[in-house]
Amino acid sequence: MNRTRTLTRILVGLVLCCFAARGHGQDARLQLTSLDKLSEKATHVTEVTLDGALLELAAKFIEMDDDPEAAQLKDIIKNLKGIYIKSFEFDEASQYSPADVEAIRKQLAVPGWSRIVTNTDKRSGDKNEIYLLKNGDQIAGVAILVAEARELTVVNIVGPVPVDKIAALESHVTHSGKQEHTVKKDKEGSHEKK
């Protein structure tokens, strides 16, 4: 009888340890199928699913690019498990419900995920958020949620994300964007003078 209790306790302990370990190494992939119903109302829908062989194929295409940032981009995606994007644009506001957004936020409220950026426009109610899933010292996933009056977008990156490389690449893109914006502004100004 004592032996049975001891074995039962050990078995229960092992099962609990397995569940705890499973929760800690959770999957960074978000379930986005609840948003599929929005396709009917949207005027523009973008869906991206890059995982497995398709992600490897994307890395090969990037490798063939002559762009100096191609090597950096390949380094970023080489260890990823997947990139998933769902984006809906609408002609009118309020075409998706707060429950649609909360279904995504609920998945990001579990242990491991941390919201690192929130950008809220109080006039329009637009809210943009960035979340990270940490596994020890590594980032195991990224989620970006854009909830605007006429747009709902979710970007989900699954796998180890080398933040230092992304920051360097983002810095380059941001700098280039500022130059393009300045050129565009100068051109617009020259049209106004005529």
Task: List the chain domain ranges.
Answer: 29-161
Q: Which parts of the chain have pLDDT scores under 50?
A: 1-25, 172-174, 176-188, 190-194
Say what the pLDDT of residue 22 is. Answer: 37
Beta bridge partners of 83: 50, 157
Short-list 109, 110, 115, CA closest to 128: 115
Beta-carbon count within 10 A of 96 CB: 20
Say what the pLDDT of residue 102 is. Answer: 96
Say what the pLDDT of residue 153 is. Answer: 96
Say what the pLDDT of residue 167 is. Answer: 64
Cα–Cα distance measured from residue 185 to residue 179, given in angstroms and rounded to the nearest whole number = 10
Say what the pLDDT of residue 12 is. Answer: 36
E strands of 62-104, at which residues?
82-89
Residues 6+ apart with CB under 8 A from 148: 124, 126, 127, 128
Say what the pLDDT of residue 76 is. Answer: 81
Say what the pLDDT of residue 7 is. Answer: 32
Cβ atoms of residues 113 and 143 within 8 Å: yes
